[in-house]
Amino acid sequence: EKDGFDHYMLKEIYEQPRAYRETLQNRIDHENNKVDLSKEISLTPEEIRSLDKIHIVACGTAYHAGLVGKYVIENLVRVPVEVDVASEYRYRNPIITDKTLVMVISQSGETADTLAALREAQKRDAKVLAITNVNGSSVARDADEVLLTHAGPEIAVASTKAYTSQLIAIYLLGLYLAQIRGTQEDTVIANYLQAIKELPAQADKLLEFAPTMKQFAERYAHYEDLFFIGRSLDYAVSLEGSLKLKEISYVHSEAYPAGELKHGTLALITDGVPVIALATQEDIYDKMVSNIKEVKARDAYVLGIGLEGDQELAKSVDEVIAIPKTLPLLTPALSVIPLQLLAYYAALARGNDVDKPRNLAKSVTVE
């Protein structure tokens, strides 16, 4: 069933282009350049227009997808979004009204804390929209609205295609809400749709970096610590890269907002410490490059993740991975792929059980 791959995780990484296509299928009105979720989501235009805030609640990797969701929805829809880890949210007495949309994200739809947060939100009159990969799961059954990801079954404990499919679902939802609330011009929506349709082929192209990531992983898998740095969406993706690495390779790593380095973590950057620096966001690119120079000045070994066509980044880092160009909000669906490959090959280099890391379960059904 692994289709010739050594592990489910690698198979699932390679299934991502297909998962993107399937999650997009039947949700785009190609003729009118619009997202159409009206067959799946029953929130009325009035209800959508009356929302005054959105809470995104999830655990682990799904929480990281939610962090990307905050940028996407705030930018496209201009509604304030808060993102919480489910085990925190359910106990923090959140401020919820009937104008709050609570979005829960869960691959399995069975995560105990996410399910409890969903119920807590419903008790307080919020409408709950679930993004889940499993139709008929507890989360899908209890939520008021369900937007399915069509990633197909995910077997490896480390989530890969579920995360990126969650991003695709979030992009569609963000555009749909923007259409109804009139916060983006038609041409902007059309541009996004054009770019989204290119993501599967671009993701495919990124898989070609597998040998580069393998080489890097083999060289650094025996280090004690590794750092991921980035700003804005690149920071959100860094968190996911760091979780993936810890989870299956057991290498300690930290993701840091690059601008925060000077406030403490820079003390840990010394000769040869591996740093993965994401620099895909054009609006804060210059700031990011100056942060990269700060770590280089401490003799870190820097792998830069930048955009294709960027001639500058190579001058400040030791190695570069070039991500195909897309719109800034969509970049996470691409930039995470080399990080997934890095985690996979690091786990392999350390002789770990890639698909079943120690102490972890695929679905956490206890609190």
- Tell which one of 108, 179, 232, 326 touches ligand M6R (CB under 6 A): 108
57, 157, 237, 239: residue in contact with ligand M6R (rule CB under 6 A): 157
Provide CB contacts within 8 A for 235, sequence distance 6+. Answer: 229, 255, 256, 257, 258, 278
Please tell me whether residue 335 binds ligand M6R under the rule CB under 6 A: no
Listed ranges 75-83, 151-159, 183-191, 278-286: which one lies at the site for ligand M6R (CB under 6 A):
151-159
Cα–Cα distance between 148 and 134 in angstroms, integer?
7
> Which C-beta is closer to ligand M6R: that of 167 or that of 193?
167
Q: Please confirm, yes or no, whether 123 is among the known catalytic residues.
A: no
Least Cα distance to 56 among 25, 79, 76 occurs for: 79
Among 68-76, 107-115, 116-124, 225-233, which window interacts with ligand M6R (CB under 6 A)? 107-115
Comparing CB distances to ligand M6R, the nearer of 63 and 192 is 63
CB of 135 to ligand M6R, least distance (A): 14
Q: What burial class does residue 95 get, using C-beta atoms within 10 Å of its C-beta: 0-12 exposed, 13-18 middle, 19+ buried?
A: exposed
Residue where the block lists tokens 């059309």: 190
Of these, 16, 23, 100, 106, which contacts ligand M6R (CB under 6 A)?
Answer: 106
Catalytic residue among 34, 205, 287, 362: 362
Instruction: Answer for the pair 101, 54: CB distance below 8 angstroms, yes or no.
Output: yes
Measuring CA to CA, which residue among 260, 229, 225, 264 is closest to residue 245?
A: 225
Residues 247-276 that bind ligand M6R (CB under 6 A): 247
- Let me know: does 242 contact 337? Beta carbons within 8 Å: no
Q: Would the CA dihedral through 17, 144, 364, 222 be positive or negative?
A: positive
State yes or no: residue 114 binds ligand M6R (CB under 6 A).
Answer: yes
Q: List 103's β-bridge partners, or say none.
A: 56, 129
Q: What are the φ and ψ backbone dihedral angles of 98, each rounded to 5 degrees?
A: -75, 0
Residues 211-250 that bind ligand M6R (CB under 6 A): 247
Stretch that binds ligand M6R, among 154-162, 186-194, 221-229, 270-278 (CB under 6 A): 154-162
Distance CA 53, CA 328 (A): 23
164 lies in the binding site for ligand M6R (CB under 6 A): no
Among 159, 165, 184, 316, binds ligand M6R (CB under 6 A): 159
Distance in Å, CB of 140 to ligand M6R, minimum: 12
List the catalytic residues: 362
Residues that bind ligand M6R (CB under 6 A): 59-62, 106-108, 111, 114, 157-159, 247, 363-364
